[in-house]
Structure 1
Amino acid sequence: MVTNTLMNYTTGRENLQHWLVSEDGFRPEWLGKGESVFSLGNGYMGLRSVTEEHYANETRNLFVAGTFNKFAENEVTELPNAADLIWMEFKLDGIRFDLTQGNILSYRRTLNLKEAELVRDITWQSSNGNVYDLTFRRFVSMDNLHVIAQRVTITPKQNSVLSLTSGIDGQTTNSGVQHFLEGNKRLYDGRFMQQIQTTTESGIDFVFHSVHRFYQRESMNPTSIIKMDRRQIFFDYSDIEIPANEVFTIEKYSTVFTSRDKELNAVTTEELANHALNVTRNVESKGYENLFIEHIQAWDELVWSRTPINIKSKEMFDQLAIRFAQYHLAVMTPKHDNRMNVGAKGLSGEGYKGHTFWDTEIFILPYYTYTNPKIARSLLEYRYLSLPGAHRKAKENGYDGAMFPWESAWLDDGEVTPVWGAADIVTGEATKIWSGFIEQHITSDVAFAAWQYYHITGDQEFMDHYGYELLIDTAKFWASRLEWNESENRYEINQVVGPDEYKEHVNNNAFTNYTAHWNIQKAIEYVELLRIEKPNLFEQLNAKLDLETAEARFRHVLDLIYLPQVREDGVLPQDDTYLQKEIIDLSKYKNQENVGSMFYDYNLEQVNEIQVSKQADVMILMYLLEDLFSADVKRANWEYYEPKTLHDSSLSLSTHSVLASDLGNRELAYSLFRRASEIDLGPNMKTSDAGIHAASLGGIWQAVINGFGGVRMTSGNLRISPMLPEAWDELTFSINWKGETLDIYASHDKVVLTRRAPSIEPLTVEIYGEKQTITETFTSEVLSV
């Protein structure tokens, strides 16, 4: 762990208490942490929080959701790093403003989670002894998804002269890969800079605009000259005189539009550019304060008033942690367009190339299903719209139905997992990434998420239009994927990777087999339901999916699918060979400072032969399909697998926290929750360089609501059994259940459930194992586990 951390979580006061994340100090070798955790966005675009001025170790990223491009045939598609719009270079009295030079007399950078604004306050002394106060503010608007606004104030302690260079820099790359053609540049009205670029392979037009405003007591226009260079358009402003102790203000307004924008579908590049220019003119006329007010209101309506979570804890970092998770969930999710989904690093970095994994369905989607079903439905519609790619992957592999890609990008891209990865420490060769070939549980994960969404929301229209088809089409894949073992008289699923990616090419991974069986079982139920209750829809889907043939296959295989069985000691084998592998002392790796430390001593082939797991595997099965396993079996598997799980995936800690809550181990549940919370937000300054950990942030919400809050949907019914950790005195939160909002208050003594809009229709909720019928408000005493 990095002990001399720069992170400060206690700067919030009064109405901003537990809302601020700060960085006290500037260290060039630790730039990546702040760039990621302070990143701004609105789901349409994500802006990595680099400084205005350049530094050697920075990673300047601006990503627009859904704008994938492929650089070359031997590479996979990725989100292209768009032009740098926040770039500014300052010379103060002839000396470049550079925090690696001169003296930093004071420094603090703060992300205000409530208002989604980044503020950097600096007092800097240049090499000639002059002193300046500088404040940098910026936000990416949640009200107008195309807008980035900046405000910089400079207050010299002596009479000073400022020179400024600022504009649009399209020389950015993805780690050296340039995804854009040169494009066109132009200046309008003597002030509005425009740059148009097009992606090289996908042919998506990007239109960027930037404009400046200046104030010194009142609005003014400094001497300037417009310049253009390769992929750049910018202004040089010179000889700006600033009297001692007077404030000079620079405002910069930038907009981003693309030809992929849904609301502007089928317009020409010229029409897109003209529209974007007019929007930029309107944005600039509003000014920073008015734009900021609208932005704050949009955030409040989307997140803070809609889904408040309040924790009264002896460790108030916990309150900050859940707000941090909610903030980034809003920043990363493309709620505006059902053709797009959430990347494993959100929109905060180049890690995983902007691709979508099972992270969405299992770790992120539940947050939206319980709090904003409209967004949850949009994310599921993405999977439905990407069925052509899933069908193509199934066909290419010799299967039927929908075989969802392990990594997904644009709707019809299909599988986009890279083939080669990190170095093998033994052979020195690149390690082959097998997940795109054989990590197939993603298909049943999508089916489970659709089923879970339906039962929590009651959205019958979704099921009619998308859900039934998704569940049946995925089941068709599994029914064709099964392999007959003649000697055992059963169907098996061989040569796969389960959730535990430290075990490759295994047979009968329990998670994969059980969820495939569940998927096929649900498909049988829904085919029968459609035939009886929705004959017209049955006929439509029969023509599309050949339901009658599929159903016969489903019924034939269902009872012949091999499901690994619990041993006498209660342990469910993770796969056919896991329990026969070598057992070693894992304490060194369980207590590691950085994930993946085991690979300093072993390569993946060697790790494959040791009883060690990267992340929850059997345990997440017992979380998702909990009705299939008794409390004793869950406990036995916890005691066996938790010591062998290194939590080298950021997805893992939150799942184990929820399960520890289920088992009544509140101390361990809380410890795991804290560790999950500190993956990005904690003091280690090197955990987030490639971007934030999107799934972990969804998992933090699950640890709070599904774990400590005890909220669960089982067999279509709602269960609420809060069990707070000792550190917490109170927890209040809200969830959506079948179209209505429920407010829950929990302490160590009681639980109060309130229907926000009381209904004459009674609501049945299982609270601590007993079914309760609730009309308005219900109070229950807390029961011990």
Structure 2
Amino acid sequence: MKNYIKHNEWQIIEEGFDPHLNKISESIFSIGNGRMGQRANFEEVYTGETLQGNYVAGVYYPDKTRVGWWKNGYPEYFAKVLNATNWIGLNITVNDEVLDLNTSEVLEFSRVLDMQQGTLTRKFVVKQVNGNVLEVEAIRFCSIVDDEAGVIKYTITPHNFDGKITIESSLDGDVKNQDSNYDEKFWNEINAREDGDYALLNLETKKTAFWVSSAIQTLIKQEGKDLGLKPVFNKKEKYVAQQFEVAVKRDQAITIYKYAVNLSSENYKKEDLEKATIERLKKVVAKGFDQMLTEQANAWAVKWQNGDVVIEGDVAAQQAIRFNIFQLHQTYTGEDARLNIGPKGFTGEKYGGSTYWDTEAYCLPFYLATAPQQVAENLLIYRYKHLEKAIENAEKLGFRHGAALYPMVTINGEECHNEWEITFEEIHRNGAIAFAIFNYIRYTGEQKYLAEYGLEVLIGIARFWSQRVNWSIEKEKYVMLGVTGPNEYENNVNNNWYTSTIATWCLKYTIEAIDLVRIDNTSRLNEILSKTNFNVEKEINHWQDIINKMFYPEDKNLGIFLQQDGYLDKEQVLVKDLPAVDRPLNQKWSWDRILRSCFIKQADVLQGIYFFEEDYDLDTIQRNYNFYEQRTVHESSLSPCVHAIIAAKLGDLDRAYEFYLRTSRLDLDDYNNDTEDGLHITSMAGTWLSVVEGFGGMRIKNNHLHLHPVLPEKWESYAFKIGFRQAIVTVKVDKQKVTLKNENEKALSLHIFGKEEHLIANGTLELNAHSN
């Protein structure tokens, strides 16, 4: 665990430069706008350790799978969001010496991510080998108003010398992914050119033939005056740059303004792409840096208006929740149903930048409550559009009759994960897709979604589960063999409780959904049944038989659900008895040792209890929580948030707070020693859940909003907003009272501490904090 980020409510601050922490900081200080994003690499040359990363949403490459032993059903490739053209480059040469923080003496250094404005600012003072001392301030952002554009303001002040500074403002497409399976570069050049004030580089991805057109224009001012310099054009393969030379005097600053745009053929016809790129560049240059910055700050203010969580009395907790919310908004805006949320967003290459079950299980609730309804709906439509691919994925594994298996990892709907214990066995992801449909309808009340999109998906998923189980003569039950549950420290197990539970829930919900669509829209139901060749009597009877006769492992003596068959055969060692030198297990132990241990990577049984808590009494939840939490090492980013929510429900606020801090500061403090690969974007939604569903006790039951707020001891108060069915409710909790404010013209009935209350339009309601 690192602890070098300064605590501040609205800023992420690094003071002093430690090269060993640089890749971690490159992740933490990443910026994006939902359409493009980048790691916090330096603009100038840096020859020290770095992970360069610029990314354009929706553009990917099918990197050929690399495995030692090919198995039938393996995907042929792993889809990867590509490291794209590096547009930030400003190679600075001062009196013939290249500016490089790796070779210079760094006298002062700071990095600041301003979450209110969405800007990254870096300041440093260096002494070069030739004795030159200079100061630099660099400000940059990816505009969320002009979401194909980024801009840099880079100011250099010479402190002890006169002379010349050479600036090379570049577009560098000669890049590769660090995780390339065969060290292959994924881009070919189409063309590069300049036209007076701008330079342009067009690249095409191999195999997938995406085009990305990037263009830059660079302006230079000295002491606030435009120098009117014309660039010298420099070109080499997949590289184009504008060069300038400026005479400088001691303590007289020069400022470089670099405007850049990245457009892709996902959004423009290829024949129109270059023209659109230049038009977009001219638009942002005409606005200028100051106007773009003002628009950026205003747009972020709107996002914070409904999405902020305010914590008083605990700066570390406040900074952390805002950092998580900020990164979620940078990653996904919901404006394009073709896009989804990769586990690393725009902050790194690990996991390929692809979509996992994390979106449905963790991210959807955040967007349901904090964004317009269409944002969450687009996440579901993304899966609906991939239904045919999900059916193809299942067919490759031997399933039939329209059974759908959604991929563990995908960009285009096709499975592209090549570890057998994940690809073939971690099938609970199918349940998360179905649960997201249920969750969306439960939250929005929009049952028409079932008829429009949801029911077809549910039928495909239910058909998969009905074929994936088999009848056990010995048990006289249906069983689920050879699976990997959410706990990936167990592979190829039988009767994982969570997988079996969510499978039968999917069957029940699909039957219910068929009945709901029959009532609401009979003609549409008949259309769906015809399209899917659905035999109502035969299939539903079979599903109902599975529901009635499914086997769920449990231990009646302990009163717990067993994670899977034979779990108690393992040596039962508690996490508290693990030597610190053995952690994290995935970096210290052999895989064989991990698989034979009782240790749990992340919530497994407790994941099911979190989803379906209404089905279990408090004693049952308590017993399972007590048993499994002691065996969980939380070496998945998705683990602490589920435990925080359950701990808060059980009144264990100290542990809930501990879990909250761990999930919220996972990347800021590098808990798992893996932040340098990129941030854990999808788990950041879990941080929001820890506050709103954990401490706030927010649930949706029977079409009503329920709250059961509790206050961690270290907090003076906390507040959040919930957008629920055309109403926006502000919830504030302090040591004395709970205050609810309806910020809408629509009245709302809700339950708080188990009692129904009526919140009038634009009204406020105060309750004793100890009403529970």
Q: TM-score, normalised by structure 2?
A: 0.94
SS of corresponding position for 1:438: coil
Q: Which whole-Å CA distance do the structure 2 matches of 1:660 and 1:684 have between them?
A: 20
Q: Which whole-Å CA distance do the structure 2 matches of 1:591 and 1:284 have between them?
A: 54
Q: Which runs of structure 2 are paired with 1:87-486 in the superposition (5 Å)?
A: 87-157=89-159, 158-175=161-178, 176-188=183-195, 190-216=196-222, 217-222=224-229, 224-238=231-245, 240-261=246-267, 264=268, 267=269, 269-301=270-302, 303-313=303-313, 315-372=314-371, 373-400=373-400, 401-412=402-413, 414-419=414-419, 433-486=420-473
Q: Deviations 1:307-355 (Å, cap 9, x if unpaired)? A: 2221112x21111111101100011115221112100111110110011
Q: Which runs of structure 2 are paired with 1:1-150 in the superposition (5 Å)?
A: 1-2=1-2, 5-10=3-8, 18-53=9-44, 54-72=46-64, 74=66, 75-150=77-152
Partner in structure 2 of residue 530 of structure 1: 517
Which residue of the other structure, out of 768, 771, 779, is the alignment partner of 2:753?
A: 768
> Given that residues 743 and 755 in structure 1 are in contact (C-alpha distance below 8 angstroms), is that contact kept between their aligned partners in structure 2?
yes
Q: Deviations 1:582-633 (Å, cap 9, x if unpaired)? A: 2235436485696335x523x2233222211111111111111001111111
SS of corresponding position for 1:341: coil
Q: Which whole-Å CA distance do the structure 2 matches of 1:281 and 1:191 have between them?
A: 10
Shift in Å at residue 759 of structure 1? Answer: 3.3
Unmatched segments (≥5 aa) in structure 1 = 11-17, 420-432
RMSD: 1.9
SS of corresponding position for 2:164: strand
SS of corresponding position for 2:203: strand
Shift in Å at residue 219 of structure 1? Answer: 0.9
SS of corresponding position for 2:677: coil
> Given that residues 427 and 484 in structure 2 are in contact (C-alpha distance below 8 angstroms), is that contact kept between their aligned partners in structure 1?
yes
Paired residue type of 2:742:
R
Which residue of the other structure, out of 675, 692, 702, is the alignment partner of 1:688?
A: 675
Which residue of the other structure, out of 545, 548, 554, is the alignment partner of 1:556?
A: 545
Instruction: Report which stretch shifted further, 508-517 or 370-379.
Output: 370-379
Shift in Å at residue 398 of structure 1? Answer: 2.1
Instruction: Report which stretch shifted further, 316-325 or 176-185.
Output: 176-185
Q: Which whole-Å CA distance do the structure 2 matches of 1:258 and 1:491 have between them?
A: 49
Partner in structure 2 of residue 679 of structure 1: 666
Paired residue type of 1:125:
K
Which residue of the other structure, out of 465, 490, 493, is the alignment partner of 1:503?
A: 490
Shift in Å at residue 241 of structure 1? Answer: 0.8
Q: Which whole-Å CA distance do the structure 1 matches of 2:446 and 2:100 have between them?
A: 55
Q: Deviations 1:705-761 (Å, cap 9, x if unpaired)? A: 11011111235432100011001111111111123211111122221222222435x
Q: Which whole-Å CA distance do the structure 2 matches of 1:743 and 1:22 have between them?
A: 29
> Given that residues 504 and 546 in structure 2 are in contact (C-alpha distance below 8 angstroms), is that contact kept between their aligned partners in structure 1?
no
Q: How many residues align?
A: 749
| CA separation of 1:81 and 1:536: change in aligned 2, threshold 3 A | same
> Given that residues 610 and 646 in structure 2 are in contact (C-alpha distance below 8 angstroms), is that contact kept between their aligned partners in structure 1?
yes
> Given that residues 450 and 513 in structure 2 are in contact (C-alpha distance below 8 angstroms), is that contact kept between their aligned partners in structure 1?
no
Paired residue type of 1:765:
L
SS of corresponding position for 2:312: strand
| CA separation of 1:590 and 1:550: change in aligned 2, threshold 3 A | farther
Shift in Å at residue 223 of structure 1? Answer: 6.1
Does residue 600 of structure 1 match 2:588?
Answer: yes
Instruction: Report which stretch shifted further, 507-516 or 170-179.
Output: 170-179
> Given that residues 727 and 746 in structure 2 are in contact (C-alpha distance below 8 angstroms), is that contact kept between their aligned partners in structure 1?
no
Shift in Å at residue 510 of structure 1? Answer: 0.8
Q: Which whole-Å CA distance do the structure 2 matches of 1:300 and 1:781 have between them?
A: 32
Q: Which whole-Å CA distance do the structure 2 matches of 1:586 and 1:683 have between them?
A: 20
SS of corresponding position for 1:69: strand
Q: Which whole-Å CA distance do the structure 2 matches of 1:654 and 1:33 have between them?
A: 22
Q: Which whole-Å CA distance do the structure 2 matches of 1:25 and 1:624 have between them?
A: 44
Partner in structure 1 of residue 69 of structure 2: none
Partner in structure 2 of residue 651 of structure 1: 638
Shift in Å at residue 525 of structure 1? Answer: 1.1
Shift in Å at residue 470 of structure 1? Answer: 2.3
| CA separation of 1:136 and 1:281: change in aligned 2, threshold 3 A | same
Q: Which whole-Å CA distance do the structure 1 matches of 2:705 and 2:471 have between them?
A: 38
SS of corresponding position for 1:154: strand
SS of corresponding position for 2:562: coil
SS of corresponding position for 1:174: coil
Paired residue type of 1:570:
G
Shift in Å at residue 526 of structure 1? Answer: 1.4
Q: Deviations 1:660-707 (Å, cap 9, x if unpaired)? A: 101101111101111112211126694311100112211110111110
Which residue of the other structure, out of 533, 546, 560, is the alignment partner of 2:533?
A: 546
Q: Which whole-Å CA distance do the structure 1 matches of 2:569 and 2:552 have between them?
A: 18
Q: Deviations 1:228-252 (Å, cap 9, x if unpaired)? A: 11110112323x1112211201011
| CA separation of 1:586 and 1:320: change in aligned 2, threshold 3 A | closer
SS of corresponding position for 2:342: coil
> Given that residues 138 and 151 in structure 1 are in contact (C-alpha distance below 8 angstroms), is that contact kept between their aligned partners in structure 2?
yes
Q: Which whole-Å CA distance do the structure 2 matches of 1:773 and 1:590 have between them?
A: 53
Instruction: Report which stretch shifted further, 558-567 or 479-488.
Output: 558-567
Q: Which whole-Å CA distance do the structure 2 matches of 1:534 and 1:73 have between them?
A: 45
Partner in structure 1 of residue 72 of structure 2: none
> Given that residues 402 and 477 in structure 1 are in contact (C-alpha distance below 8 angstroms), is that contact kept between their aligned partners in structure 2?
yes
SS of corresponding position for 2:716: strand
> Given that residues 451 and 517 in structure 2 are in contact (C-alpha distance below 8 angstroms), is that contact kept between their aligned partners in structure 1?
no
> Given that residues 391 and 403 in structure 2 are in contact (C-alpha distance below 8 angstroms), is that contact kept between their aligned partners in structure 1?
yes
Paired residue type of 1:282:
K
Paired residue type of 1:170:
G
SS of corresponding position for 1:636: helix
SS of corresponding position for 2:189: coil
Which residue of the other structure, out of 569, 572, 577, is the alignment partner of 1:583?
A: 572
Q: Which whole-Å CA distance do the structure 1 matches of 2:173 and 2:12 have between them?
A: 30
> Given that residues 575 and 632 in structure 2 are in contact (C-alpha distance below 8 angstroms), is that contact kept between their aligned partners in structure 1?
no
Partner in structure 2 of residue 757 of structure 1: 744
> Given that residues 65 and 418 in structure 2 are in contact (C-alpha distance below 8 angstroms), is that contact kept between their aligned partners in structure 1?
no
SS of corresponding position for 1:719: strand
Q: Which whole-Å CA distance do the structure 2 matches of 1:575 and 1:683 have between them?
A: 32
Partner in structure 2 of residue 15 of structure 1: none
